[in-house]
């Protein structure tokens, strides 16, 4: 059974065992507009919850990507580096950003479930 | 200060525009399709741009007006034919650029198209330079729209017969719903197209007709990527009060005869810069990978010395890669010179390149 949770920075994380797959939400992709460049954290690097873990750029501007959970990066998605447009077309499946080995599963409790996130993104308007 | 709206505001809104404040106006940055699709549609088909925020300065006067304007602008206005346009600049005494503009000779005077953010200041400067001798009107009763792209001529000619006979950088008065509209074959996307000066109360009807004929509304976001691919300068980025036309690599826009006569504002500086050369110059920059170097990105040479700065940089949808323009020390400005762009602390390789990034398709020989 996998579990999907969401952060206030508009990232999603899907957890299977102690591996988390992270990407940006549909809402975030829509707000950013056409994504034309992405930078991902290196495999083997450690990322800290709410810390910087990559960059996405639209035609208009660059935005930081944050990791919702701490851990060690196991894999990053080269397909979105080669074709960043995938992030606009399928942000919550095919266009995942990176997978990490979760350091502390209790950090998951600080994140929102789907209903909470939908309410949050509607209310925050950004 | 209250934010201004153009006469097409409601039409933009009805077409789901995302708005952004630009030079005191609420302007559409993009519509539903997004910048990339809007950009590509313009290159392939026909895009409509609301540029009503730009200034339309009408100046009327006798032959003394031409003489007086020649003291200000480095173009040959005496020999400019009726309804023909020239690209030029308003400069200070040091050749710093207050604004870049298009000046067109019309019956009884001139019309000058000014950048939105500069127009009020330009108006003030010009009034002062011309000693309030002439009838001058920064006309807020007219809107300005551009229609750009290969299908534009056909679409516009369906509504206004005869526009197909205009050459690039020429214009004429036409009639729409019994009102006079001024159309020039020009634009700022690198594509064939037209700019239409039309009374505010008619612009929505007119734009709707263009939409019915298959053109689409395009936002300022795509206008920026289109002009950057075409290697065209944007005031506040490539051009400002601390840069001269020679540094901006716009010598082509200055009349040779006028430089020889040396009788316009800052002509001594311009002449000197042409003879002595300039320290920095505007160039095109092509990053080797996909990295986007935005405005203010620092440019280093192969010895890791700071040699320049990016003034505009984005992803070029038609080029399908990143593109940039910037200023670089003259000795590193040669085509194919390798440079490095510092983005988020890392240096990325790039090459100095010729402009434009995307070939222009202006129509010059129709009559």
Q: Which residue has the tokens 């031409």?
A: B66
pLDDT at B33: 93
| pLDDT of B1 | 73
Which residues from chain B sit within 8 angstroms of residue A80, using beta carbons?
Answer: none
User: What per-residue confidence (pLDDT) applies to B366?
Assistant: 72
Tell me how far apart the alpha carbons of residues B291 and A37 are, in angstroms, rounded to a whole number. 7
Peptide bond into A72 cis (omega under 30): no
Question: How far apart are alpha carbons A100 and B44 in whole angstroms?
Answer: 43
> Are residues B304 and B255 part of one domain?
yes
Three-state SS for A52? strand
Contact in structure between A22 and A10 (CB atoms under 8 Å): no
Which residue of A59, A64, A89 to mutate against B (max B Cβ within 10 Å)? A59
Judge whether B61 lies within some domain.
Answer: yes
Residue B1 lies in a domain: no
Q: Are residues B147 and B266 both part of a single domain?
A: no
How many Cβ atoms sit within 10 Å of the Cβ of residue B280? 19
Distance from CA of A63 to the nearest CA of B (A): 12
Question: Do the beta carbons of residue B29 and residue B12 sit within 8 Å?
Answer: no
Contacts of B314 in chain A (CB under 8 A): 59-60
Q: Collapse the DSSP code of B157 into the 3-class scheme (helix H, G, I; strand E, B; otherwise coil) and give the result.
A: helix
Domain membership of residue B190 (yes or no) is yes
Q: Which residue has the tokens 């526009």?
A: B163
Task: Write the burial class of residue B292 (CB in 10 Å: 0-12 exposed, 13-18 middle, 19+ buried).
Answer: buried
CATH number at residue B339: 2.40.30.110
Asked whether the beta carbons of B273 and B244 are under 8 A apart, the reply is: yes
B114 is a domain residue: yes
Q: Are residues B261 and B310 in the same domain?
A: yes
Cα distance between residue B281 and residue B334, in whole Å: 10
Give kind and range of the element (H or E) at residue B257: helix B256-261
| Domain range enclosing B280 | 251-353
CB–CB of A57 and B315 under 8 A? yes
Check CB contact under 8 Å for A60 and B29.
yes
The answer as to whether B222 is a domain residue is yes
Same domain, B200 and B270: no
In which residue ranges of chain B is pLDDT below 70? 367
User: What CATH number is attached to the domain comprising B95?
Assistant: 3.30.70.1400
For residues B332 and B98, what is the distance between their CA atoms, to the nearest angstrom? 27
Please check whether residue B216 is in contact with residue B45, taking contact to mean a CB–CB distance below 8 angstroms: yes
Could you give the number of structural domains in chain B? 3
Dihedral sign, Cα of residue B33, residue B35, residue B37, residue B38? positive
Omega into B356 within 30° of 0, i.e. cis? yes
Residues 59-88 of A with CB under 8 A from B: 59-62, 81, 84, 88
Look up the pTM and report it.
0.93
Q: Is residue B243 part of a domain?
A: no
Nearest to B225 among A39, A57, A59 (CB): A59
B251-255 own/partner pairs: CB under 8 Å, 24+ apart? B253/B74, B253/B75, B253/B86, B253/B87, B253/B88, B253/B89, B254/B74, B254/B75, B255/B74, B255/B75, B255/B76
**Do B31 and B147 have their domain in common?**
yes
Single residue among B118, B138, B158 that ends a domain in this structure: B138
Domain-ending residue, one of B96, B117, B138: B138
Residues B119 and B264 in one domain: no
Q: Which residues contact B224 (CB under 8 A, 6 or more apart)?
A: B234, B312, B314
Q: Helical H runs in B105-181?
A: 119-129, 152-159
Query: Alpha-carbon Rg of chain B, whole angstroms?
Result: 21
In the prediction, which pLDDT does A70 show? 97
Cα gap A101→B317, rounded to integer Å: 37
Q: Could you tell me which of B365, B333, B331, B364 has the C-alpha nearest to residue B351?
A: B333
Average pLDDT score over chain B: 96
Task: Indicate whether B245 belongs to any domain.
Answer: no
Rounded CA separation B35/B11 (Å):
18
Separation in Å, CA of B316 to nearest CA in chain A:
8
Which residues of chain B have a CB within 8 Å of the CB of A84? 290
Q: Can you state the angle between helices B152-159 and B200-212, rounded to 10 degrees? A: 120
| Contacts B290 to A, Cβ<8 Å | 36-37, 81, 84
- My answer on whether B96 and B120 are in the same domain is yes
* Sign of CA pseudo-dihedral B227, B228, B234, B239: negative
- With an 8 Å Cβ cutoff, are A34 and B291 in contact? no
The answer as to whether B274 is a domain residue is yes
What CATH number corresponds to the domain at position B181? 3.30.1360.120
Which portions of chain A are predicted below pLDDT 50? none
Please indicate, yes or no, whether residues B169 and B84 belong to a single structural domain of this protein: no
Residue A91 burial by Cβ neighbours in a 10 Å radius (0-12, 13-18, 19+): buried
CA distance B223 to chain A (A): 12
Shortest alpha-carbon distance between residue B321 and chain A (Å): 9
Question: What is the distance between the alpha carbons of residues A92 and A94, in angstroms, rounded to a whole number?
Answer: 7
A26 vs A11: CA distance, rounded Å:
9
Strand segments, DSSP code E, in chain B are 18-22, 25-30, 47-50, 55-60, 85-91, 97-106, 109-114, 135-138, 142-148, 171-176, 179-184, 193-199, 216-217, 280-287, 298-300, 306-316, 321-329, 338-343, 346-353
Which positions ≥6 away from B29 have C-beta within 8 Å?
A60, B17, B18, B19, B20, B219, B220, B221
Are residues B267 and B336 located together in one domain of the fold? yes
Q: Which of chain A's residues have a Cβ under 8 Å away from the Cβ of B317?
A: 59
Q: Is B36 close to A62, i.e. CB distance below 8 A?
A: no
* Same domain as B82, residue B44: no
For residues B79 and B17, membership in a common domain is answered with no
- Could you give the CA distance from residue B314 to residue B234 in angstroms, rounded to a whole number? 13
* Tokens representing residue B356 in the block: 């434009």
Q: Which of B138, B171, B202 is the last residue of a domain?
A: B138
Q: What is the pLDDT of residue A61?
A: 87
Q: How far away is chain A from the Cα of B351, in angstroms, using its nearest Cα?
A: 19
Which two structure tokens, joined as six digits, stand for B32? 């539903």
Same domain, B37 and B184: yes
- Tell me what pLDDT residue A1 has: 60
For the four alpha carbons of B21, B207, B203 and B102, in that order, the dihedral sign comes to positive
Are A34 and B290 a contacting pair at CB < 8 A?
A: no
Q: Which domains does chain A have, with CATH numbers?
A: 3-103 (2.40.50.100)
> Is the dihedral angle over the CA atoms B231, B234, B238, B242 positive or is it negative?
positive
Q: What is chain A's length?
A: 126
């Amino acid at each position: 059974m996998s579990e999907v949770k969401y952060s206030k920075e508009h990232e999603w994380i899907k957890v299977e065992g102690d591996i988390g797959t992270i990407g940006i939400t549909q809402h975030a992709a829509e707000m950013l507009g056409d994504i034309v460049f992405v930078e991902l954290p290196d495999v083997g690097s450690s990322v800290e919850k709410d810390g910087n873990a990559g960059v996405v750029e639209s035609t208009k501007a660059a935005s930081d990507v944050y990791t919702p959970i701490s851990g060690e990066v196991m894999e990053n998605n080269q397909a979105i580096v080669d074709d960043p447009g995938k992030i606009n077309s399928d942000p919550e499946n095919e266009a995942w950003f990176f997978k990490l080995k979760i350091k502390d599963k209790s950090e998951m409790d600080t994140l929102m479930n789907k209903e909470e996130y939908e309410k949050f993104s509607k209310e925050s308007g950004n | 200060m209250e934010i201004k709206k153009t006469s097409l505001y409601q039409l933009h809104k009805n077409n789901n525009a995302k708005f952004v404040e630009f030079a005191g106006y609420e302007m559409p940055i993009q519509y539903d399709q997004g910048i990339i699709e809007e950009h590509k549609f313009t290159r392939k088909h026909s895009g409509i741009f609301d540029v009503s925020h730009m200034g339309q300065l009408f100046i009327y006067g006798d032959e003394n007006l031409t003489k007086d304007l020649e003291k200000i602008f480095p173009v040959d206005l005496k020999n400019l034919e009726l309804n023909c346009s020239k690209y030029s600049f308003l400069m200070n005494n040091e050749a710093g650029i207050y604004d870049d503009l298009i000046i067109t000779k019309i019956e009884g005077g001139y019309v000058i198209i000014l950048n939105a953010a500069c127009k009020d200041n330009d108006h003030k400067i010009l009034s002062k330079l011309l000693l309030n001798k002439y009838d001058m009107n920064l006309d807020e009763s007219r809107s300005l729209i551009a229609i750009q792209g290969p299908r534009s001529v056909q679409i516009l000619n369906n509504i206004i017969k005869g526009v197909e006979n205009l050459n690039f950088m020429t214009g004429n008065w036409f009639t729409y719903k019994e009102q006079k509209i001024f159309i020039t074959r020009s634009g700022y996307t690198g594509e064939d197209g037209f700019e239409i000066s039309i009374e505010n109360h008619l612009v929505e009807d007119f734009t709707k007709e263009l939409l019915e004929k298959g053109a689409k509304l395009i936002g300022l976001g795509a206008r920026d990527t289109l002009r950057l691919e075409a290697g065209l300068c944007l005031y506040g980025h490539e051009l400002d009060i601390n840069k001269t036309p020679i540094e901006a690599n716009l010598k082509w826009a200055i009349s040779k005869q006028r430089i020889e006569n040396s009788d316009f504002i800052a002509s001594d500086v311009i002449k000197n810069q042409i003879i002595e050369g300039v320290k920095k110059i505007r160039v095109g920059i092509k990053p080797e990978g996909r990295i986007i170097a935005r405005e203010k990105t620092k440019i280093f040479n192969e010895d890791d010395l700071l040699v320049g700065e990016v003034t505009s940089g984005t992803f070029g949808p038609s080029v399908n890669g990143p593109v940039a323009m910037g200023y670089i020390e003259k000795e590193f400005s040669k085509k194919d010179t390798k440079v490095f762009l510092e983005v988020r602390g890392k240096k990325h390789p790039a090459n100095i390149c010729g402009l434009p990034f995307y070939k222009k398709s202006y129509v010059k020989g129709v009559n």
